[in-house]
Structure formats: C-alpha cells, structure tokens
Amino acid sequence: MAKETSSANQFIHEQYIIFNLGDEEYAIPITIVEEIVKITNLIRVPQSKSFFAGIMDIRGKVVRMIDLAKRLNIKNITETADRAIVINVSGKSIGVIVDKVSHVVHFPANQVDPPPPSVKGISSRYITGVGKKDNRFIILIDIEKILTVEEVTELATV
C-alpha cells in the first residue's frame, strides 16, 4: 500500500502545466498551481514595477498579478493575454499572466534533460530542465526563482 501511495505521489510531482509565452512553450509543476483563471476586472496599481500587472479579486481574495513575459523580457506576440495561472509562492497566491494555457503533461525524470546554459535570453537559474513531448521541447521553469524574496514581499504589501 505504501508503495502505491509513493508511486501516485511521484506521478503528481512529475505533472506540469504547459503554457505559452510568445512562440515558446513552458511548464511549471502542477503541485504549486492553485487554479487557472480568466483575467477579469484587473485593477492597475500606479507607480508599480513594470511586470506587476495589478490586482484582481478572485472569489473575495485579492490576488497580485504579474505579467510573466515582461518579467522575463519576452516579446509578447499577443497583447490580449486573458488567462492567468494562480500559484502559491512562499504561502502567497500570485497570478501569473501568460499568453495561453494548453494542458497538463506528465514528464518522468527520463524525459527531462538538464537545462542548457541559456535559452533565448532566459537566465538558466530559472530553468529546471527541458522536457520533450511529441517532437517539441518544453522549457521547465522554477517560477519561484523568477521572483526574488523581496519582490514577493513587495507584491504582498500592494
């Protein structure tokens, strides 16, 4: 029984949400994802960091929203991103605005290569590996390393 639970737990830890920023596909572990939401009633906050898109009310809870493409200096192909992945970073809910959320994929360890030194200008410290699915490469990122502790704290006070 314990072996089955361990196996099921490992399977969950190998699942990732796939999303797009510009032309590239990225993935984050499903274990940090709280929900995927449509962006509605986004309230901009004056004099905030350029990647901070604003705040949004999600079922009575104020969630800070960041534009991941701006944070990573990725040129957005579409200016009409309308989806956000709400994640838990250091016990705080943060919405990450992306161009498109596509699906959940399972990446066993043997399907993940180590991160290259750099991928299209994104710092290798954010990249945990590169997964391969259906002849496509998907960049696995550690979203918690994209925001510094100071930035998470600053977002919490907005």
Each residue's pLDDT expressed in tens, for the chain with a length of 158 residues: 444 445 555 555 689 999 998 888 999 999 999 999 999 889 998 888 888 899 999 989 999 999 988 888 877 666 667 899 999 887 889 999 999 998 999 988 888 888 776 655 556 678 888 898 888 889 999 888 887 666 666 665 65
Report pLDDT for 1.
Answer: 45
Residue for token pair 């391969």: 132
Q: Each residue of 97-135: pLDDT tens digit?
A: 999 998 999 988 888 888 776 655 556 678 888 898 888
For the beta carbon of residue 158, count every other beta carbon within 10 angstroms. 12
Report pLDDT for 98.
Answer: 92
61: which 2 tokens? 């809870």
Report pLDDT for 89.
Answer: 82
- DSSP label at residue 148: -
Q: How many whole angstroms separate alpha carbon 72 and alpha carbon 79?
A: 16
CB 127 within 8 A of CB 140: yes
Report pLDDT for 33.
Answer: 95
Single pTM value for the model: 0.81
Report pLDDT for 70.
Answer: 87
